[in-house]
Amino acid sequence: MHSHSHSSSEQATRGDLKALRSLIPYLMEFKGRVILAMTLLIFAKLANVTVPLVLKQIIDALDKSHAVLVIPVFLILGYGALRLFSTLFGELRDAVFAKVTQRAIRRVALQVFEHLHSLSLRFHLDKQTGGVSRDIERGTRGIGFLLNFMLFNILPTLLEIGLVAAILLNKYNAWFAGITFVTLVCYIAFTLYVTEWRMGVRRFMNELDSRANSRAIDSLLNYE
């Protein structure tokens, strides 16, 4: 029983990796937009990480008894500009990458639709139309989530963790960076474990959803 579960998990993992590889050509089609979106992402993360450092400088400048007012004002303006750029670069990134995501969704949906029309009549008579339509809808909707999650959630988080660890290592004791790193490793391990468990529940839920939609659609199509 355990070996069967392990084999199913490995097959699901290979299927996930194959799905990721199949999306790479759609990214390469708009290589310039992808590079620009990643550049904006890096700028957004740099601005976001720099915000606490500027805030520290503002507090230190205001703490001085004979502080020159001009310095805190410029620091406050810089703080506001960094907050603005952090949000602005993120929004520009989404705007630049939107065409890539929508083109990938449209191309994949069109290919699936054409493939279904090329199949024999026997396939369509034996296959549950409602379940197929729901699977197509779910798959195309998942493409946008997968592309955005892969490029704008996983990679940026790793980049931001690296920047924060470098700042802690540079400005404080190495223990601060070490504790942060160990905590994040534990968090990632726990997240992966829970996500793996959740995926089984999610697949079962999708299967039941497809069955329900199949019966609903087929009952309407075959109503006599």
Model confidence over 179-218: pLDDT tens digits?
888 888 898 889 888 888 887 887 888 777 777 777 777 6
Burial readout 109-127 (b: 16 or more C-beta within 10 A, e: otherwise): beeeeeeeeeeeeeeeeee
Residue 131 Cα to chain centre, angstroms: 27
What's the pLDDT tens digit per position in 138-192?
A: 777 778 777 777 777 777 778 888 888 888 888 887 888 888 888 888 988 898 8
User: Domains plus CATH for the chain?
Assistant: 2-221 (1.20.1560.10)
Question: pLDDT tens digits, residue range 31-78?
Answer: 888 889 888 888 888 888 888 888 888 777 776 665 556 667 777 888
Q: Are 41 and 148 in contact (CB under 8 A)?
A: no
The predicted-structure confidence for 77-124, as pLDDT tens digits, reads as follows 888 888 888 888 888 888 888 888 888 888 888 888 887 778 777 766
